[in-house]
Homo-oligomer: A and B are copies of this chain.
Amino acid sequence: MYPKSFEQLVGALEALPGVGTKTAQRYAFTLLNKTEKAQELAEALAAIKNLRRCKKCGFLSENDLCEICNDSHRDISTIMVVASDQDLTAVERTGQYHGLYHVLNGTLSSTKGIYPEDLNLETLYERLDGIKEVIIAISPTIDGEMTALYLDKVLKKYPLKITRLAYGLPMGANLDYADDMTITKALIHRQKFEEQ
C-alpha cells in the first residue's frame, strides 16, 4: 500500500526490540515529517561503526581502551565485574565507585546455552595481577547467581578479596510487598545500625 521506500523503513524499524508494525509505522511517519531528525539518526548509525570493545575491560569504546580504563584517577587495585554495559553505567551513575570494571557481556545460562567461553572472561584472568579486590556486581537472577558462584569458584585460586554487592531490601521498599528470599537475605545479612 505504502511506497516501497516507506515500507522498507517500517521493516527496518521493526527490527527494534518490542516494535511491531503499528509502532514502526508511527516511528516512520515521525522520521518522515522531521527530516533533520531522520538525518541525525542516519549519521548516528554511520558513526557507531567505529564503536568497539575496550581491550582491557570489554566496555563500549571508540578507542582500544575505554575512558574508564584510560582514567588515571581510578583505583587500579579494584575490579568490579558486571554483566553488561548498562549495569556498568548504573553503578557509575551513583558516583560512589572509583575502581575499574570488567564487563562480561552476558551471564552463564544453561537454558540459553551460554558457557564460560562465551563470556568476556579470559581477559579478566589476565588482568588480576596486582588486584586486591574483585567485586562481583551481577544482578541476583537465576543466571546471574550461577555466574557469580562460578566466578567466586574460579577467583578463589587468586590471592585477592572477593566481595559482592549486598543483598537486602531496596530503599523505599515496603516490607509487606518484598519477596521471601529478599527478606531472608536481609535478615541473614542484617547490619549494625551504625554501618548503615
CA distance A15 to B29 in the complex (A): 12
Q: Are A44 and B3 in contact (CB under 8 A)?
A: no
Q: Are A1 and B61 in contact (CB under 8 A)?
A: no
Assess whether A166 is interfacial by the CB under 8 Å rule.
no
Q: Are B13 and A41 in contact (CB under 8 A)?
A: yes
| Dominant SS among interface residues on chain A | helix
Q: Are A85 and B48 in contact (CB under 8 A)?
A: no
- Report A71-93 residues with CB < 8 Å from chain B CB: 85-86, 88-89, 92-93
Q: Are B60 and A3 in contact (CB under 8 A)?
A: yes
The chain B residue sitting closest to A62, CB to CB, is B3
Q: Are B2 and A89 in contact (CB under 8 A)?
A: yes
Number of copies of this chain in the oligomer?
A: 2
* A17-B27 contact given A45-B42, A89-B1, A92-B1, CB 8 Å threshold: yes
CA distance A65 to B148 in the complex (A): 62
- Report A84-110 residues with CB < 8 Å from chain B CB: 85-86, 88-89, 92-93
Q: How many residues of A contact B (CB 8 A)?
A: 50
Assess whether A129 is interfacial by the CB under 8 Å rule.
no
CA distance A35 to B46 in the complex (A): 10
Q: Are B30 and A60 in contact (CB under 8 A)?
A: no
Query: A6, A13, A28, A45: which has the most chain B beta carbons within 10 Å?
Result: A45
User: Within 8 Å CB of A43, what residues of B?
Assistant: 8, 12
Chain B proximity of A69: nearest CB distance (Å): 13
CA distance A12 to B37 in the complex (A): 7
Q: Are A2 and B38 in contact (CB under 8 A)?
A: no
Q: Which of B32, B85, B93 contacts A29 (CB 8 A)?
A: B85
Q: Are A32 and B3 in contact (CB under 8 A)?
A: no
Q: Are A47 and B89 in contact (CB under 8 A)?
A: no
Give 11 CB contacts A-B under 8 Å. Answer: A1-B88, A2-B89, A6-B51, A9-B44, A12-B37, A12-B40, A12-B41, A15-B30, A15-B31, A15-B37, A15-B41
